[in-house]
Amino acid sequence: MSPVHLPAPVALHRSDQLTTLVENRTVYSLDAFELNVFETHQAASRVPLSLGSLVLTTMLRGKKVMHLPDRPAFDYLPGESVIVGEDRTMEIDFPEARADSPTQCLAVAIPTDTIRRTVDLLNERYPRAESHTPWQVCEAAHAHLTNTPELTGTLERLVQLSQASDAAKDVLAGFTLQELLVRLMQTQARQLIFRDYARHLTTHRFAHVVGYIKQHLAEQLTVEKLSDMACMSKATFFRVFKREFGLTPVEFIIRERLSEAKRLLRQPLTTVADACFRVGFNNTGYFQAIFKKYEGITPGAYKKSLG
C-alpha cells in the first residue's frame, strides 16, 4: 500500500461552534484565492455544492462519495484530490459521517485568469516534452487524483498562509498558488503516463521510457540509456522529465523499485535480501536506508507489520 499524503491536520470545530452539521464551511479569503474548509458531522446524501470558480478539493478525514457530471460516482478518501470545473456542481454523499467521526475537506477556489496566466507562461517558456500535449488544468479525464508529496506540501503552505497574520501573506499566497497549479499539472501528468503508459507508447516519448523502467527494475538503469530512448541529450532529458512530472528520473526509479519491493515483501517466503536484489538494489544497507527514508519504516518492520 502506498503512503497517504495529507497536509497537516486542520482543527475541527466543537459542536457549539458549528452553524450546520452538513458541510459546515469556514472561509479564508485572500487576494489570490479562496480557501474553504468543510466539515460534516452527520450522514447525508446528494448534497449539492458549487463554488463558481475551478476548485481543487482535498480530503482530510472520513469518506465521501462524489457525483460529478459525466462520470460514475466514486469513493473519495483522505490522500486524494478532486478537480471540479468552473460553474460545475458536485453532489456529495456522506455515508459514514458522525459526530465522533466527521468528514473534513479543503476546497481551493482558483480564479480563471490566474489559471490562464500560469498555463500560458508554462507553455511559452517551459513546454512539455510533446508539443501535442500542452500544459492544461483539465477537470474531466483526470479529475480524481492521488496526492503526491509535492502537491500535498504546497497545499499545506496555502493553508498556513491563509491562517497567518503576516502582512505579506497575499503576495506569498499568489506565488504559492502558481506553484500549486504547477504541482497539480505535474500530478496529472504522472497519473497519465506512470499509471497508463501502455496507451501512450506511440504518442509520448516518456511513456516508452516509463514502460522500460517498470519492466527492467532489476537491471542497471542509467540516465544515459534512458535519455537515448527519449531521443534527448542527458541534460535535456533530466531537466524536461523533472519539469513534466515533478521528480527526477532517478527518483522515479527509486520509487518504482520500492513499490515492487513492497509487493515482494507481502509474499510470505520473500526475505528482505531477496526483495532488495530482485528490484535492482545491490546493497542491503542502502536498500534499508532508502526504504526507511521514503516509507518511514524499515523493510523488515514493514514485512513484520503484515503479520
CATH number of domain containing 271: 1.10.10.60
Instruction: Compute CA distances 32 → 57, 122, 154, 169, 284, whole Å.
Output: 16, 19, 15, 10, 48
The residue-averaged pLDDT of 283-307 equals: 94
- For residue 296, is pLDDT > 80? yes
For 89, how many CA atoms within 13 A lie in the half-sphere containing its CB?
A: 5
Last residue of a domain, one of 131, 163, 198: 198
Write out pLDDT tens, residues 15-60: 999 999 999 999 999 999 999 999 999 999 999 999 889 999 999 9
- For residue 281, is pLDDT > 60? yes
CATH number of the domain enclosing 161: 2.60.120.280
Identify the domain containing residue 9 by its residue range: 1-198
Among 123, 116, 114, 59, CA closest to 92: 59
235 and 168 within one domain: no
SS3 labels along 16-45 = HHCCCCCCEEEEEECCCCEEEEEEECCCEE
Looking at the whole model, is its pTM more than 0.75?
A: yes
Write out pLDDT tens, residues 106-137: 999 999 999 999 999 999 999 999 988 899 98
152 and 82 within one domain: yes
213 and 194 within one domain: no
218 and 184 within one domain: no
Last residue of a domain, one of 135, 167, 198: 198
- For residue 83, is pLDDT > 60? yes
What is the helix (H) or strand (E) element at residue 61, kind and residue range? strand 54-61
220 and 162 within one domain: no
Q: How many domains does the chain have?
A: 2
- Residue partners of 50: CB distance under 8 A and separation at least 6: 87, 88, 89, 90
C-alpha to C-alpha distance for 209 and 207, rounded to whole angstroms: 5
Last residue of a domain, one of 152, 177, 198: 198
pLDDT at 9: 86
